[in-house]
Amino acid sequence: MALVTAVRRLAQVSLREYSRRRTAVSCWGGWQAAERSFSTGLQPLRSDNKVMVHFVNRDGEKITVKGSPGDSLLDIVINEDLDFDGFGACEGTLACSTCHLIFDEDVYKKLGPVTDEEMDMLDLAYGLTETSRLGCQICLSKSLEGMVARVPESVTDIRQSKDGSS
């Protein structure tokens, strides 16, 4: 029984590490930069300057937090322990749409291009808008200082069955 528990824990750690690396790849400019940093053990340099982000939760409450340039919005929600029910269920692996966020148009234009994989997941998101993006795919930069990200009223997790069980 102890062996089964140990294997499960190892699998969870491996999934988190994969998720962290995948986020780093999407945030830092492709596989080449990621391969360099992972093969040498070096992490991309991050600025000590923090970027302020305002989240508007489902209740309309505005929550202001700061994150480092290069962090994804999902990283910030996790690191700041923000309580957005169901948010980021797949830990940034682009396997769900639970980190769906809605932006003002001027901010949306600064976020960069949407990948086909992200569009596929956004198609499944509850309350999709023209300015919707997935928080796991949005990486902070100083140009996003003070941006507002709205959490939709509900989330859709395609990994759950129709009766609500996993």
What is the pLDDT of the chain when averaged over all its residues? Answer: 78
CA–CA separation, 17 and 5 (whole Å): 18
Residue 108 sits in a domain whose CATH number is: 3.10.20.30
Which residue range forms the structural domain that includes residue 137? 51-150
The torsion region of residue 92 among left (phi > 0), alpha (psi -120 to 50) and beta comes to: left
Residue 88 domain flag: yes
Residue 46 domain flag: no
Total tally of structural domains belonging to the chain: 1
CA–CA separation, 34 and 25 (whole Å): 5
Residue 44 domain flag: no
Give the tens place of pLDDT for each residue, 28-81: 444 333 433 343 444 445 446 899 999 999 999 999 999 999 999 999 999 999
* Helix segments in 28-164, DSSP class H: 31-40, 73-79, 105-108, 116-122
Q: Tell me how far apart the terminal alpha carbons of the chain are, to the nearest angstrom.
A: 23
* 96, two tokens: 């769900």
Residue 81 domain flag: yes
Q: Alpha-carbon torsion 138, 140, 141, 144, what sign?
A: positive
Residue 165 domain flag: no
Judged against a pLDDT cut of 70, whether residue 5 lies above it is answered with no
